[in-house]
Amino acid sequence: MNPLSIVLIVLLLVGCSSGTRPQPDNALNRQLRLSVDSRRDPALGQRWLASLSRRSGRERVELIDLRNNKPVPLPGLNRADTQPIDVSVNADGTRLAVVQQRQGRTELVLFQRSLGLVQRVPLDPPGVPRSVSLDGPGKQLAVQVSRDGRWQVDLIRWP
């Protein structure tokens, strides 16, 4: 290989590796780790982080406002008789979709934060929801559902 080829390869490699790289938000990450025993199933809205957090043996849905790195109250959502399985948040943080277990049943619910309202979302045909993804405006859900031993995905429009 001639010296010019080696120089061109080195310049190419340096050029490819000198671009911007993802950077962790260490201050927020440290705060998130210290605030609860564990955290899983993150979902991001524009300035919102929804996740399932465990504190003192109880798992709950938590919403963090990323502008001020503070938890947002979710009155009516985290009931003592429910166990959350998955969560998703829309872009402006006004709606959360949650798969949860309640009274031995797995169900899909939509939480409207401004009203403190939890609404059960029916599945047709019936099935067992496992995970959910809410679109940016909060008007459409994609739900992974088990029916007759098969995984399926349902799209549900919400008014």
Homologous superfamily of the 26-157 domain (CATH): TolB, C-terminal domain (2.120.10.30)
Question: What six digits make up the tokens of 46?
Answer: 């524009």
The domain locations on the chain are 26-157
The reported pLDDT for the residue numbered 132 is 98
Rounded CA-CA distance 44/86 in Å is 13
* pLDDT-flagged residues of the chain (< 70): 1-19, 26, 28-30, 32, 34
User: In a 3-state reduction of DSSP, which class is residue 22?
Assistant: coil
Evaluate if pTM is beyond 0.95. Answer: no
The reported pLDDT for the residue numbered 25 is 77
CB 84 within 8 A of CB 100: yes
Across the strands, what pairs with 61?
52
Q: How many helices (H) and strands (E) does the chain have?
A: 2, 11
User: Residues 96, 88, 30, 60: is their CA dihedral positive or negative?
Assistant: positive
